[in-house]
Every structure is written in C-alpha cells, then in structure tokens.
Chains A and B, each alone.
Chain A
C-alpha cells in the first residue's frame, strides 16, 4: 500500500507541477495583455481586450470534467494518448491557463496606476512598464495567485485521475470507491490535505517576504 501511495503522490505532484508550469507560461501573458489593453491603460485596445475576455470566459465556463472529455482529440494529437499522467497534463493546463490569466489580471490591477504614470512620465516604454513596474509591484499578489492555482490543480488532478490519469485521485477512486478500501481512501485524503497545507504555507511565506508595502 505504501508503494502505491508514494507512486500516486509522485504522479499527482508531476501532473500538478507540469500543468502549473504551462498555466503560468500561458496565463501570465494573457493576464498581462488583458490588463494593458484595458481602456486608459498603456496599450489600450478594446478589440483585443474584448476578444481575449470572451475566450477566457468561454473556457472558464466549461466544467472541468466536461472539458477533460471534449478535448480528448486535442490531447491525443499532442501526447499520442489520452490515458495516463502525461496525457492528464493537457486538460489540466488548458483549464488552469484562463483561470490563472484572470488571477494575473486582478493582481496587476491592484498596482496603483499612479506608479505606472510616474514610470510613463520618466519615459518608460510599455515593455519596461510591464517587466520593471507591473510585474515586480504585483509579485506578492502573483505568488498568492500561483498558490491558489496550484491548489485548484490538485483538486482538478483528482478528477483527471477518474478517467485514468493516475495520481492520488485515481487511487482514491479505484481503491476507496470501487473496492471500498477505507484505509487507502483515508490515506489519500490525508496526503492531499497535507499537500494543500504545505503549498499554502509556502506560498504565504514567500508572498510575505516579497511584500514590501
């Protein structure tokens, strides 16, 4: 049983880590673009802003379990199969990307526009404003946003497990639900709770260190 749980935990960590990576890589630019194209922001562009916003809303309104099934052809195309932990990373990333984009949007909006104006007045280019002002000023809030995204992904990864994605969710369903093995079920829940606690604690700690306000 121990071996089973260790393997499942590692699988969960692998899925969550990889999909967090893709969510950040994809969601961060989307979130930045959402903010800077807003009316009266540094790269105001209502067409881009509206299109992005609609796409993000559509993706976010699809329940994860349905998204998981709908994008099977896409997953197959990318990974070659739709079963297994690596395959689960695709729907997890697709679901987390727009979620994280919205998180980035709200974090960046917290940055006082006066600071951006001061940077503009000093002759900063839009790129300099994004990388030297917006992102550093929002870093504590972004860290908390990543924390929330990771925790969400742990939850989603359990669902991915339900359709053969592996990981703790998979074990919980196969052993805990189908075989009524309450010991394994309890063990997976305890591990999940521990993981979430650890991640939240670490996220809070880093955010506190980064916050100079």
Chain B
C-alpha cells in the first residue's frame, strides 16, 4: 500500500550552505492495515521520514507511493486532496486554541466541503469513538494532554483516512496516558482497518501495539522486522540497545559459578512463556536451578519473557537440559561456564 523508494532528504543550511543528510536512500514497504513502528534515537531522521509521507517535508529525491500514486509528483491541488485522505497526529497535538473541541474536529470536514448536517453527525460519532462527548463545547486549553491527543485523533479520522501518521504522538504524555492513547490507536486500527505508521523513541510504544518495526539510525534504516523478531533476536547494535529488557544489564561478572554450573539467558515467547518449563526440567532431570533474573513483558498480545539462571549438574544432565530447553522452544544463550564438576 505504501512504498518508499530511495527516499533522501538533505537539508542545506541557509547561510553556511552546509549540507545535513537527514535521510539517505531509505526503502520501505508498509502493508495495508498494519501498525508499523519506526524507532530511532533523536536526530536519526525519523521525524523527517514521517513528514515526508505527506510532504510536510519535501524529499530531496526518491518516491513515496501511496495507493499506487507517487505523491512527490502531485501538483499543489492534487496534494491537498491526497492529504485529506491521510490523517496525522502530533507530539504537541497542534489543536486550534480559538476553536472548541467540536469545531476542531469539524475543521478537516469544513475545508473538504462536507455539508453541515453530515459534519454535525460525524463529529458526534468521532467524539463518541474517542470518549469525549461531554467535552464538545470546551476549548483545548481546558483539556489534559491525553484528552488533547484524543481530540487530535478524532480530527485526524474525520475524513475517513486509510492512513494515520503518528509523529511522536505519545512522547509528551505520562506513561499511563500513553497506554490509554495506544489502546485507542489499536482499537481504531482494528475497528476501522486503518493503516497506522508511528514514530517513537520509546520501545514500550512499539511493544504495545506495533506489528512490524523499522529501526532507523544515522539517516538509514538498519533493521526491518516483526516486533517479535526485533525483541527475540535483534540484529543491529542499536536494535539490541532498544530491545534491552533489563536482562542485558545483568551483572554477569558478579555471579560466582561453582564447578559444574552454567549461566544461561533464556528467552521465551508466546505459549512457552506460560508453561512451567523450569520446574519440569528440575523434576525430570534432577538438576539444580537458581533463578537470578526474571522478567515477563507483552508484545502486543504475545507474552515474552527473559530469564537468567544457573544450572548445576553433571555434563550429561547439562546436555539434556539444553536439549530440553530447545525442544520447548526457548531461545538459549550461554553467558558463562564454570567447567566440568570434579
């Protein structure tokens, strides 16, 4: 549905003529109906990237195909029509302070020439969807951050877009509000089958709602994968940093292994996260297990956990244990080995 080809954006400083490369030959395809996340450290070019998708930022070269149309080739009027089919929400909400909530949501329909009766009906629907019916006549200044973003979402959905762009939409919100806004986005994605592209610097946002993610660093996409793969087997170094779930910082050097013991990091995903694998291993193989670190997270709907344990036993027991873990679908990494017990 959306195809980005060789997208390059170079800024030229107006005085010094110094060139700053924000995006370099970015290629990406986003499927219809998915929630696609783009994560990267600040200054990586992710904001430039999302703003190129509705040409708020004009790419230096490359194409942006949306529904079979290269939007970089559109005329001013054609682009305005196209933009009416693309919703966008912002970090700082960007609501009009002189308009009430109702009038803010009505704005995109007003400029699209929708008749008054339809606007009134649609505004009611949208406010219902985001849960702000009671705030229709209030001005944005009287709303909390989360409520403002809900108005932003209602406004972005007004003309029934097929694509919603989220530019750091939760970065100005507290964790709890972030969660509720993300749940709203997920609900919208499921109910309206709308494609959502979001950029963020928080892995928690990706983990919460995204299907796939692209990791952007230093003007380039360094990794594109399903969220699950990015968490379970991150490839690029920057991805590993983002995917860190606490286990990475575990101070391995402080663990004093006794002879015959091995230190493992286990990752488990989906069903295997719910099975009592460790206790079965202890019962079945008679090994000694010491749990040093454990963490369970959720990737959208899939549970995902990390364990750091020591396992003690004879070389044969250790080997059987490793086989058992692999059979159970765990991802296993040996962090340290004390050698064979004498």
A121 touching B88 by the CB < 8 A rule? yes
A114 touching B56 by the CB < 8 A rule? no
Residues of B within 8 A of A112 (CB): 92, 94
In the complex, how many residues of chain A place their beta carbon closer than 8 angstroms to a beta carbon of chain B?
22
A122 touching B97 by the CB < 8 A rule? no
A115 touching B95 by the CB < 8 A rule? yes
Chain B residues numbered 294-320 whose CB sits less than 8 Å from any CB in chain A: none
Q: Taking the nearest CB of chain B, how far is it from the CB of A109, in angstroms? A: 15
Q: Taking the nearest CB of chain B, how far is it from the CB of A180, in angstroms? A: 53
The segment out of B37-45, B78-86, B124-132, B232-240 that lies at the interface is B78-86
Chain B residues numbered 99-142 whose CB sits less than 8 Å from any CB in chain A: 99, 107-108, 110-112, 139-141
Task: Name the residue among A39, A114, A125, A212 with the largest chain B CB count within 10 angstroms.
Answer: A212
Task: Name the residue among B98, B107, B159 with the largest chain A CB count within 10 angstroms.
Answer: B98
Task: Name the residue among A112, A123, A139 with the largest chain B CB count within 10 angstroms.
Answer: A123
A115 touching B112 by the CB < 8 A rule? no
Is A137 in contact with chain B by the CB < 8 A criterion?
yes
B98 touching A122 by the CB < 8 A rule? no
Is B246 in contact with chain A by the CB < 8 A criterion?
no
Q: Given that A136-B98, A137-B98, A212-B141 are known contacts, is A118 also in contact with B84, CB under 8 Å in the complex? A: no
Residues of A within 8 A of B65 (CB): none
Question: Which residue of B79, B82, B139 is within 8 Å of A212 (Cβ)?
Answer: B139
A123 touching B90 by the CB < 8 A rule? no
Of all chain A residues, which has the CB nearest B81?
A123
Of all chain B residues, which has the CB nearest A120?
B56
Chain B window 57-73, contacts with chain A (Cβ cutoff 8 Å), 1 for yes, 0 for no = 00000000000000000
Report the bound CA distance from A42 to B241 in whole Å.
Answer: 40
Is B195 in contact with chain A by the CB < 8 A criterion?
no
Report the bound CA distance from A136 to B95 in whole Å.
Answer: 13
Number of A-B contacts (CB under 8 A): 68
Is B149 in contact with chain A by the CB < 8 A criterion?
no
Is B54 in contact with chain A by the CB < 8 A criterion?
yes
Chain B window 156-190, contacts with chain A (Cβ cutoff 8 Å), 1 for yes, 0 for no = 00010000010000000000000000000000000
Chain B residues numbered 23-60 whose CB sits less than 8 Å from any CB in chain A: 54, 56
Question: Which residue of A118, A121, A124, A213 is within 8 Å of B97 (Cβ)?
Answer: A213
Of all chain B residues, which has the CB nearest A213?
B97
Of all chain B residues, which has the CB nearest A128?
B111
A136 touching B84 by the CB < 8 A rule? no
Question: Which residue of A39, A123, A133, A210 is within 8 Å of B84 (Cβ)?
Answer: A123
B98 touching A114 by the CB < 8 A rule? no
Is A117 in contact with chain B by the CB < 8 A criterion?
yes
Question: Which residue of B54, B92, B110 is within 8 Å of A121 (Cβ)?
Answer: B54
Q: Taking the nearest CB of chain A, how far is it from the CB of B213, in angstroms? A: 23
Is B96 in contact with chain A by the CB < 8 A criterion?
yes
A121 touching B56 by the CB < 8 A rule? yes
Chain A residues numbered 193-213 whose CB sits less than 8 Å from any CB in chain B: 210, 212-213
Residues of B within 8 A of A128 (CB): 111
Chain A residues numbered 155-188 whose CB sits less than 8 Å from any CB in chain B: none
Is A76 in contact with chain B by the CB < 8 A criterion?
no
Is A41 in contact with chain B by the CB < 8 A criterion?
no
B: residues with CB less than 8 A from A are 14, 54, 56, 79-84, 86, 88, 90, 92, 94-99, 107-108, 110-112, 139-141, 155, 159, 165
A: residues with CB less than 8 A from B are 39, 112, 114-115, 117-125, 128, 132-133, 136-137, 139, 210, 212-213
